Amino acid sequence: MTRPPAGTITLAGKTVSRLGFGTLRLTGPGTWGDPVDRGTALSVLRQAVHTHGISHIDTADAYGPHTVEHLIRDALYPYPEHVLIATKVGMVRPAPGQWMPLGNPFYLRACVEASLRRLQMERLELCYLHRIDPEVALDDQIAVLQAMQDEGKIGHIGLSKVTPEQLRLVLKSQAVAAVQNVLNATQCFDPVVELCRDLDVPYVAYRPLDAGELARTHGPQVPLDWLLNCDSHIAPIPSTSQPRHLDEIVAAVQDGPA
């Protein structure tokens, strides 16, 4: 098996590569619809897992919407045992470039069921609440995910874009397997980082290259080394649609943080 880039981290009960792969960019413009070149998108997913040894693939039902979950299934099914496919539910897409949280419990249940079908899985090993809907009681949003966990349809529950207060509130009634927030050398302060470290909760950093801006200025090594050196519980998930760019990202972290 290929050596995991940047070492490993335990996430949702699995030992996976600390460098994950975010799939946001495997869609059309505005994170909407199919990618311009579907074959390249499939190739990048296979390259991440089979060439580079990345074993943490992050996605969401809202990417496309639905597009990327189909791509992951077509590229990687049957999934290697060591690979973790994490997805997110609770966001609707009114139009290209538009995102809106929707935490109605019936909708969240439908999202989980649909993701299971698209990914061709019996259980979502790591399912995040993509956003907390301020119009719905947080307890109700978490309760439906807990119920589906009890039913065996979700393995572990994560939270995305949360504050310390929200994380503490959820932890009163539910274990949280991971938190996914923005963190990069530009947006470099998030109090949830320290809280997750103290609580032994993995912190998945999305937009680690600030949508490519940091890589254009410095290449990927400097911003990724900065993240990897911040703390060992941080796992970045850079995203790209280009095989060459993925090669550069992996090469930048292959020897781990400096």
Q: Which residues of 55-68 are buried (b: 16+ CB within 10 A; e: fewer)?
A: bbbbbbbbbbbbbb
**CA-wise closest residue to 21 among 66, 64, 76, 74:** 76
- Report the catalytic residues: 63
Alpha-carbon distance of 147 to 140, in angstroms, equals 11
Alpha-carbon distance of 176 to 186, in angstroms, equals 27
**What is the rounded radius of gyration, in angstroms, for the C-alpha atoms of the chain?**
17
Q: Tokens at residue 27, please?
A: 């869609």
Three-state DSSP class for residue 210: coil
Alpha-carbon distance of 230 to 107, in angstroms, equals 37
